[in-house]
């Protein structure tokens, strides 16, 4: 794959970024475009994502991609949720019929992952509960999970007392603490009682990259079949 990275100054005006996206939309050398989030305060993230041509939305975050995913239509799936789904399937933990509790409701992970796992398709058919900052009695809910997904961006937020014995734990969080990368799960304590758990780093992060590459390959194939 050919790739180029466009590094813009932190004070780049909103219109300049949109102009760059327009230029890449029209450039046949590129089959996929990824806008690295988060963006500086002067740039509206939603507008920037919506500016990407849906055919090149390999990050799966454009409203068109999200809408098609929700309806179960073929589309580019958001990379981190898709990576979570593939980890479960390829590790022998099919979410079908399982109670999946997702802690976090971001547009990048929590919301699309919930939509993906409830689909009537391979890798779906789960019963999904989404928890967030306004959830009451969080521990009571997380202890009900067959599969627990931590995606709130708070280091060590999921402790051993919040996880039932034998649960499968997916840690999507990545936080820097004292020059170390840690997840949203108290790894050592939770690993002692869970059936399986993903590490940070080295767990969902590489899967996110893998799904981005998969979407890009799919985009190139769609372009060549026109």
**What pLDDT is recorded for position 171?**
98
Say whether both 39 and 150 belong to one domain.
Answer: no
Q: Which CATH number covers residue 148? A: 3.40.50.720
Say whether both 102 and 185 belong to one domain.
Answer: yes
CA distances (Å), origin 156, targets 74, 174, 216: 36, 10, 33
Residue 61 maps to a domain: no
CA distances (Å), origin 26, targets 31, 38, 86, 225: 10, 24, 32, 18
Residue 35 maps to a domain: yes
Task: Report the number of distinct structural domains present in the chain.
Answer: 2
Give pLDDT tens digits for 14-26. 999 999 999 999 9
Say whether both 38 and 142 belong to one domain.
Answer: no
Say whether both 188 and 125 belong to one domain.
Answer: yes
Say whether both 85 and 11 belong to one domain.
Answer: no
Residue 211 maps to a domain: no
Domain boundaries, position 46:
1-54
pTM here? 0.94
Say whether both 11 and 90 belong to one domain.
Answer: no
Residue 218 maps to a domain: no
Residue 71 maps to a domain: no
Residue 68 maps to a domain: no
Say whether both 136 and 191 belong to one domain.
Answer: yes
Alpha-carbon torsion 121, 123, 129, 131, what sign? negative
CA distance 52 to 132: 29
**What pLDDT is recorded for position 225?**
80
**What pLDDT is recorded for position 89?**
98
CA distance 76 to 40: 26
Say whether both 91 and 164 belong to one domain.
Answer: yes
Q: Which CATH number covers residue 31? A: 3.40.50.10860
CA distance 81 to 72: 15
Mean per-residue pLDDT for 206-223? 96
Mean per-residue pLDDT for 157-182? 96
> SS3 string of the chain?
CCCCCCCCCCCCCHHHHHHHHHHHHCCCCCCCCCCCCCCCCCCCHHHHHHHCCHHHCCCCCCHHHHHHHHHCCCCCCCHHHHHHHHHHHHCCCCCCCCEEEEECCCCCCHHHHHHHHCCCCCCCCCEEEEECCCCCCHHHHHCCCCEEEECCCCCCCECHHHCCCCCEEEECCCEEECCEEECCECHHHHHCCCCEECCCCCCHHHHHHHHHHHHHHHHHHHHHCC
- Residue 185 — pLDDT band, cuts 50, 70, 90? very high
Say whether both 141 and 47 belong to one domain.
Answer: no
Say whether both 164 and 105 belong to one domain.
Answer: yes
Residue 72 maps to a domain: no
Mean per-residue pLDDT for 164-186? 96
Q: How many residues does the chain have?
A: 226
Calculate the average pLDDT of the chain.
97
Say whether both 88 and 27 belong to one domain.
Answer: no
Say whether both 93 and 137 belong to one domain.
Answer: yes
Residue 217 maps to a domain: no
CA distance 112 to 61: 9
Tell which wins on pLDDT, 224 or 128: 128
Are 141 and 129 in contact by the 8 Å Cβ rule? The answer is: yes
Q: Is the pLDDT of residue 226 over 80?
A: no
């Amino acid at each position: 794959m050919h790739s180029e990275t466009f590094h813009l100054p932190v004070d780049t005006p909103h219109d300049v970024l949109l102009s760059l996206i327009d230029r890449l939309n029209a450039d046949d050398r590129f089959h996929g475009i990824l806008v690295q989030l988060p963006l500086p305060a002067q740039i509206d993230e939603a507008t920037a994502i919506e500016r990407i041509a849906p055919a090149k939305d390999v990050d799966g975050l454009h409203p068109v991609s999200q809408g098609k995913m929700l309806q179960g239509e073929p589309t580019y799936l958001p990379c981190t949720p898709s990576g979570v789904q593939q980890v479960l399937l390829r590790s022998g933990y099919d979410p079908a019929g399982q109670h999946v509790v997702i802690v976090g409701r971001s547009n990048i992970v929590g919301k699309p992952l919930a939509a993906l796992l409830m689909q009537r398709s391979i890798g779906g058919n789960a019963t999904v509960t989404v928890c967030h900052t306004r959830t009451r009695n969080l521990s009571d809910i997380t202890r009900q999970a067959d599969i627990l997904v931590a995606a709130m961006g708070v280091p060590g937020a999921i402790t051993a007392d919040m996880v039932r014995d034998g649960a499968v734990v997916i840690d999507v969080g990545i936080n820097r603490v004292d020059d170390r990368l840690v997840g949203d799960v108290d790894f050592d304590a939770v690993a002692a009682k869970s059936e399986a758990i993903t590490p940070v780093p080295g767990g969902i992060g590489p899967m996110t990259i893998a799904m981005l590459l998969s979407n890009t390959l799919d985009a190139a194939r769609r372009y060549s079949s026109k």
